[in-house]
Amino acid sequence: MTIVVTGGAGFIGSNFVLEWLAAGAGPVVNLDKLTYAGNLANLASVSGDPRHHFVRGDIADAALVGRLLAKHRPRAVVHFAAESHVDRSIHAPDAFIQTNVVGTFRLLEAVRGHWQSLDGAGREAFRFLHVSTDEVYGSLSETDPPFSETTAYAPNSPYSASKAASDHLVRAYHHTYGLPVLTTNCSNNYGPFQFPEKLVPLMIANALEAKPLPVYGDGRQVRDWLYVGDHCEAIRLVLEKGRPGEVYNVGGNAEKPNLDVVHALCDSLDALRPREGGHRGLIARVADRPGHDRRYAIDAGKMRSELGWSPRESFESGLARTVRWYLDNADWVAQVRSGEYRNWIEKNYGKRA
């Protein structure tokens, strides 16, 4: 009953691994390259668990992936591994093409070989689940309906273009070879273990150090916010009950402008860690990033109707859990905010002020 998880030391991947093992769902082979956002500290609580087998390696290493599949004979591969930050893709798109496109292609080739080697029942039960993003659909106006699984792709950043390419490869491997694939396209995740370049942990970490809270442009860019635990539950359901070849959009039913999210974070911190003058006084408008999409929104009706899933956390309850986690795990935050991270923040935000 083993599964292989790629990118299982990253934000969403590590949350998935921890929840999978907590549910007693079976052993996990966790393949992660441990780039800047991959962190074994995320998995400290299962470091001695014999059901968790960590392997440091690259999904683009076809020989390594092939050996892992041959050795562990997994019933499924859950593919999280990706470069995922839009701002980084603007500064250095090549890494996104290499990991998200070339890496996914080589992973698919290895998985196809493994799947074809299975016997009848094992082959029938096998699944490849590809975790993607709502950003592949492009940008919405204020009045446009939310993204559905049939929305045309229109990616606008090197990151979203690379994820769109990987989605198309996954679809093609189902159509051409019959590989039993599943794809999920999720909205903005937040929660424990998120690397503090993303909006929610960046604002929490900066606020606690009384640093400016940089908000792009007018701050009215709208995103749908999904608590990571709800996302992990959705992925487990898709893996268990989803129909091969299908796409499932996963959203949090929580459309919020970025500025409103920052205000909510400040108010939560004011209640838990009061600051003279309040945390909203730290908000600093900075120049917008190139090609910034205005609005994302998810229609998760297919998840509800086919799989009976809807998010357990409201935006308010999920944000409260998230803020509390970062306050209770200051050592983790300090460890990940390395020199490389500080250099990146200066590179991305310093010239926008």
Nearest to 260 by CA among 227, 220, 287: 220
Nearest to 12 by CA among 164, 223, 233: 233
- Catalytic residue from among 135, 230, 255, 299: 135
Residues in the chain: 353
How far is Cα 16 from Cα 289, in angstroms, rounded to an integer? 31
Question: End-to-end alpha-carbon separation of the chain, Å?
Answer: 51
- Sequence-separated (6 or more) residues with CB below 8 Å from residue 274: none
Q: Residues 239, 25, 60, 234: is their CA dihedral positive or negative? A: positive
- Catalytic residue from among 159, 190, 248, 349: 159
**Three-state secondary structure call for residue 29:** strand
Reply yes or no on whether 227 is catalytic.
Answer: no
Burial category of 55 from C-beta neighbours within 10 Å (exposed 0-12, middle 13-18, buried 19 and up)? middle
Amino acid at 311: P
Reply yes or no on whether 135 is catalytic.
Answer: yes
Share of the chain residues as helix, strand and coil, in percent rounded to the nearest 5: 50, 15, 35
- Catalytic residue from among 83, 134, 167, 233: 134
Nearest to 130 by CA among 94, 91, 169: 169
The catalytic site residues sit at 134-135, 159
